[in-house]
Each structure stands twice: as structure tokens, then as C-alpha cells.
Amino acid sequence: MAGVLLGVTGGIAAYKACTLVRLLVRAGHDVYPIITAGAERFVAAETFFALARTTQSGDPYPHLQRADLLVVAPLTANTLARLAHGLADDLLTEAALAHSGPVLVAPAMNSRMWMHPATQANVRVLLSRGVELVGPVEGELAEGEEGIGRMAEPEEILTRVEAILVAGTRTPGSLSGLRVVVSAGGTREPLDAVRYLGNRSSGRMGVALVEEAQRRGADVTLLAANLTVPAPLGITVVETPTAEDLEREALACADADVIVMAAAVADYRLPSPSASKRPKDGAPWVIELAPTTDVLRALGAARRPGQVLVGFAADGADSGLERAREKRRAKRADLFVFNDISRPDIGFDAPDNEVVLISEDGEREVGKAPKSVIAAAILDEAERVLSKR
Ligand code: CTP
């Protein structure tokens, strides 16, 4: 159980903060709401206090002092800017300045406001101070528009709260000073100017790993292969749309301390795709595909002592686990992450995963959990291997 200060700022997503309060209370946390005047235009402060099973205190400072975590959800562009600049013009911003523990914010605003360089600069300031962001995500916005700017769902925010509280028991910056490279997404191999061979990987698992490595203080590079989710801010992103790009860029960072190959790399490509669109002629289109380089195998062959290499094996349940064990040995990786693709509720494009972590000295099952929790388990295991070196 932790003491959570929940700041709610003025946006329509304030109504979702009510659900967040309920989830936090149900998870056993002691929630103290700080409702800005803007938020009160949408939901009365009384609602939050009733859901938090507490009363609005004349002197909130004892609550502020006891808090383990400050969460601001939703966070408007205006309060984001006020936090970045250290203003203290209402109770929430005063509390933010007085609070010395972790801070998690869930921005919610119009896409144009989110993308504006001023907001992005403010976000970078907050990230550089160790503030964690959850969302915003793509979806329907208040004005009926679609785009990025929607507040992350309360369940996702709760998951991040739990991850931060668990991480609080771990040494902060456990990967600080180390370079971590993560490949994510799925490569696309051109067939002609418009068509490609690809696969279903969204990049969510890789992005969760990037966020976790960043949280642990690593210098992170993301090799991004056609992500369908936004890349986190504050890291180096190298676009690697094809297997050839990924091979070149991964080998260029082959001296990193930890390399996680979470991307689904195409095993075959068309050697000479047409530069224009192939017209349809009714006849079968016969193509001959050539194998691509196995990037992880190449990294394994060239590995330096002390480095940790992590591979993924998304496979069917029956022989999949055994195949994953064999792949780990063959590719000279330290750790392989197996997940069962015959399950529709985990893996591809799903927010959750369930994996088996296979290493030299044993196996560990990680039960179904959000990808952020799985990412933490994978990096715990990678750190364990690192510490033995
Ligand atoms: N991988 C890679 N380069 C490739 C293919 C795969 O680096 N050309 C990496 C993946 O990123 C993953 C691991 O190897 O970390 C296992 O990938 P997977 O596709 O499961 O294994 P393959 O060796 O390609 O075997 P198969 O497709 O036959 O299952």
C-alpha cells in the first residue's frame, strides 16, 4: 500500500480519473486528490474525495508529506508547462515542487497542442528530471477528432503506478552508464514500389523494454522497424524499415552492453524489388525470395565478453518452447524470451504478454501481465546475467 497524491487537471478526461481513483483504492492505496479549478469545471472535487474515501482537508500538507508517488491524470498542456517551469500558483503545482518522490503524468490534450514544439520541449524537461509519462495514446479526442492526445486508460495508469512502486524497491539507475539497444516492430521487405512482405508485430513489447531501460538509467537506442505505437521521447531512435537496414544498424551498435532483438525480422526478401508498381495482369505472380541475414546470429558470432544478448521466440505452444531453447544456443544469446503465439489474448498487438525466460542456468515463467511488467522481468533477468560477468 502506498500514499498516492492524485492531481486532476481540467479536461474532459477528468471523468476517467474517477475510475483511476477507484482502481487505486481497490488496489489498497491511500489516495489524496488534488483537484484544480479547471478540473472542477468537469467533475466536482467532492466526487474524487468520496471515491477516495477521504475528506478534503483544510490542511493538505500532512498528505503531501506522506505521499510515495504523485500522479497527475489527466495532465493538460497548461499544467504540463507549469510543472516544467516550476510554477507554484495553485495547490497542485506547489505539491509538485514540495514532493521528492517519483512522479507519473498522463497527458491529455488536442493532437496539435501535444505535437507543438513548446509542449514537446516541456515534455523533454520533465523527462530529464525523471518524471514518467504514460500516454498520450491515439484515439478519439474531445473535439470529435482522431489523433494522438487521448489520456491513457485508467487500467494502464494503474499498471504504471504499480511498476513504479515495485521499481522503488530496486536500486535506482541500475542500468545507468550502460548502453542498451532494443530492436522493435517488424521489418517490411519491398516487393515493388507499394507492396511489401511484413508481419504483425506492433513494436509494443520493444517499446515497453525501451521505456523500462530508460527508467533504469540506461543510454538507450531504439532500432525502429515500422512501429505502430509512438517511440518514447528522450532516446536515440534509428529507423530500420527493412531487414537490411536493421542488420546494418544493429551491427553498428554491436558493442552495446545489452542488445535486445525484440523485432520480428523478415527471414526472406525479394532481392531486386521493382522500383515501380507492378501492374496486375491476371496471371500468377511467381517470385523467388532470398534469405536475409540472421542479425541475432551475427551479433552472437561477434559478441564481446561481458555483453548480454537477448532474443525473442514467438512460436506455437507444442514444440515452440523447445525450439526457443535451441535458438538460444544456436544464436549464442544469453536469454531468450518465449511467447506462445497460438494464444489470441497475448502477444501480437495485445497490451499483455505471458512469457518464459530461458537462460543458460534455468527458466522462469512470467504470468500474463501488461507488457511493461514483462519488460521489467526481462531486464531483471538481463541484469542478473550482467552481474555474473
Ligand atoms: N532474428 C534476427 N534476424 C533474422 C531473424 C530473426 O535477428 N533474420 C532474431 C529475432 O529478432 C528474434 C530471434 O532472432 O530475437 C528469433 O527469431 P525467430 O523468427 O523466432 O527465429 P528464426 O531463427 O527466424 O526461426 P523460425 O522463423 O524458423 O522460427
Tens digit of pLDDT at every position of the chain (389 positions): 899 999 999 999 999 999 999 999 999 999 999 999 999 999 999 999 999 999 887 777 777 778 999 999 999 999 999 999 999 999 999 999 999 889 999 999 999 999 999 999 999 999 888 899 999 998 888 777 888 999 999 999 999 999 888 776 655 688 999 999 999 999 999 999 999 999 889 999 999 999 999 888 899 999 999 999 889 888 999 999 999 999 999 999 999 999 999 999 999 999 999 999 999 999 999 999 999 999 999 999 999 989 999 999 999 877 999 999 999 999 999 999 999 988 888 777 777 889 999 999 999 999 988 888 899 999 999 999 999 87
Residue 63: phi and psi, rounded to 5, are -65, -40
Please give the sequence-ordered ranges of beta strands (E in DSSP) within the chain, or none if there are none: 3-8, 30-35, 69-75, 103-107, 132-133, 137-140, 146-150, 179-185, 189-190, 196-197, 219-225, 236-239, 258-261, 268-269, 290-291, 308-315, 335-340, 352-359, 362-370
Q: Give CA separation, 315 vs 227, 320, 345, in Å.
A: 21, 5, 14
Give the β-pairing of 258-261 and 179-185: parallel
Q: How far is CA 349 from the centre of its chain?
A: 13
Cα–Cα distances in angstroms (integers) from residue 149 to residues 74, 77, 194, in the given order: 11, 10, 30
Ligand 1 contact via 269 beta carbon (within 6 Å): no
Q: Please indicate whether residue 250, judged by its CB atom, sits closer than 6 Å to ligand 1.
A: no
Enclosing H/E stretch for 295: helix 295-301
* Superfamily of structural domain 179-387: CoaB-like (3.40.50.10300)
Residue 339 Cβ contacting ligand 1 at under 6 Å: no
Strand, helix or coil at 195?
coil
CB 377, CB 357: distance < 8 Å: yes
Helix axes 77-84, 117-128, angle to 10 degrees: 50
Is the CB–ligand 1 distance for residue 184 below 6 Å? no
Residue 37 in contact with residue 102, Cβ under 8 Å?
A: no
199 is catalytic: yes
**What CA–CA distances, in Å, run from 346 to 211, 314, 366?**
20, 11, 12
Q: How many whole angstroms from 109 Cα to the centroid of ligand 1?
A: 39
- Residue of 247, 267, 357 best suited for mutating to test ligand 1, as the one with most atoms within 8 Å of CB: 267
| Domain range list for the chain | 3-167, 179-387
- The answer to whether 3-167 and 179-387 have equal CATH topology is yes
Query: In testing the pocket of ligand 1, which one of 183, 240, 295, 337 has its CB within 8 Å of the most ligand atoms?
Result: 295
Q: What pLDDT is recorded for position 374?
A: 92
Angle between helix 154-167 and helix 371-388 axes, rounded to 10 deg = 20
Class level of CATH domain 3-167: alpha beta
Say how far apart CA 227 and CA 88 lie, in whole Å. Answer: 38
Find the catalytic residue in 78, 122, 199, 226. 199
DSSP structure class, residue 301 = H
Instruction: Please tell me the distance between residue 123's alpha carbon and the centre of ligand 1 in angstroms.
Output: 36
Q: Buried b / exposed e across 175-194, counting CB within 10 Å, b at 16+?
A: beebbbbbbbbbbbbbbeee
CB 218 within 8 A of CB 259: no
The backbone torsions φ and ψ at residue 209, rounded to the nearest 5 degrees and listed phi first, read -65, -40
Question: What's the pLDDT at 250?
Answer: 98
Helix, strand or coil, per DSSP, at residue 182: strand
Q: How many angstroms separate the CA atoms of 193 and 200, rounded?
A: 20
Distances (CA, A) of 160 to 83, 106, 133: 20, 10, 9
Which atom, in ligand 1's list, is nearest to the CA of 311? 15
Who's near 58: CB < 8 A, 6+ residues apart? none
338: Cβ below 6 Å to ligand 1? no
Please give the number of the atom of ligand 1 that sits closest to the Cα of 266: 8
